[in-house]
Structure 1
């Protein structure tokens, strides 16, 4: 697997010193978030207007009550900031973009899922928490990163085999789980301060036994999706 590399478009731009230690990746996330002067509008993304659709590899957690409770508590505490909360049945980890319905055929999707099934690593668990953020979102740190990086790498390998290699290589992947999106330009300090008061919440363990190939769509200021393929790990 390629080593992580610096990328000004990623957040954090520089990779953490150790992807095996959750404490290191969480501290790295927090240091990058605390250093922000300004937050940007998450929804002001070129080519991703309301109604846009695209195929993505994601990890979804529709039945994880502990994750929903953690996100819900944090969202309630952050409500005065006017962020756009992620619905509890919409919590996800984005892995890789595959393409758009206009450029990717159903046959290609099927071939991608079959190739991925032969490559994917074994099931694993990660922890979500503590809370941090990025330029456009408040999000949970994840750890350890290593199994997520391996998963991303194998999905990229599967994509390359059917002409659907992701635009962003594993070297610039920064795993995270957003709970609320920022919807305007604003000073970062008030958001950082509010998030800092929620960082002591207990972590939630997430079991990852399958990866979802979804058709993601933007509906106003939220994301929804339909699962096209559910591919088991290992």
Structure 2
């Protein structure tokens, strides 16, 4: 049985530098997400604002003060590796319910992982002290975050099945990776864009 976990228990404030995919100009994705958020409008979830939709590729540093001038070196290193990548299309579909979030799957996962691995290598080359993420998670885009603890999530899981039977999919072309300074606010995320690195092909 799924029991929800409050996503917002950790303190507000800066979380560090990350590599993201962001979706500021993806109307097809916005339509898919907004319709799905309406379908799972439970009081114990906070819907992610459409402007904050993102896919986390990797972490650069969880201490914003530790990077400093190395950010420019990381950007240059990432620019070099991204010259080898053609822009590619991802498909966003199929909702999953986790303990602290509801998220869409992203495929092809392997293509996203290849970009992540290239950025991770570039980051570590320029900044060996980078606190990159370890382990491997499936690429996903969170659309809502749990705001309560220890509530049975059975109804949410059931609702996911209904929503997945009704909503379609969104297709997005990935043309760049975005370096951000991420911040946790009250029941939301925000970030400052530090650099946009194009996939030059």
TM-score higher than 0.5: yes
Question: Offset at 1:104?
Answer: 1.1
Correspondent of 1:59 among 9, 14, 21: 21
Q: Which residue of 2 aligns with 1:74?
A: 36
Residue number in structure 1 paired with 2:79? 117
Structure with greater strand share of residues: 2
Q: Which residue of 2 aligns with 1:131?
A: 95
157, 160, 163: which one aligns with 2:124: 160
Question: Over aligned residue pairs, what C-alpha RMSD do you find?
Answer: 1.5
Runs of 4+ in 1 over 3 A off after TM superposition: 164-167
- The equivalent residue for 2:196 is 230
1:160 CA displacement: 1.1
State how many pairs are aligned.
Answer: 194
Q: Which residue of the partner structure matches residue 2 of structure 2?
A: 37
| Cα displacement (A) at 1:97 | 1.2
Rounded Cα–Cα distance in structure 2 between residues aligned with 1:126 and 1:113: 24
Matched, 1:191 2:156: yes
In 2, Cα distance between the equivalents of 1:56 and 1:62?
Answer: 17
Which secondary structure does the structure 2 equivalent of 1:38 belong to?
Answer: coil
Unaligned runs of 5+ in 1: 1-35
SS at match of 2:66: coil
- Name the CA distance, whole Å, in 2 between partners of 1:155 and 1:54: 16
Distance 1:206 1:112, change over 3 A: same
Question: What residue number does 2:65 align with?
Answer: 102
How far residue 148 of structure 1 moved from its aligned partner, in angstroms, is 0.5
**TM-score calculated relative to the size of structure 1:** 0.79
Task: Report the CA distance between 1:198 and its aligned residue.
Answer: 0.7
Q: State the structure with bigger RCO (CA 8 A, min sep 6), 1 or 2.
A: 2
Query: Structure 2, unaligned stretches of length 5 or more?
Result: none
Structure 1 residues 57 and 193, CA, compared in 2 at 3 Å: closer, same or farther?
same
Tell me if structure 2 keeps the 8 A contact 1:149–1:173. no
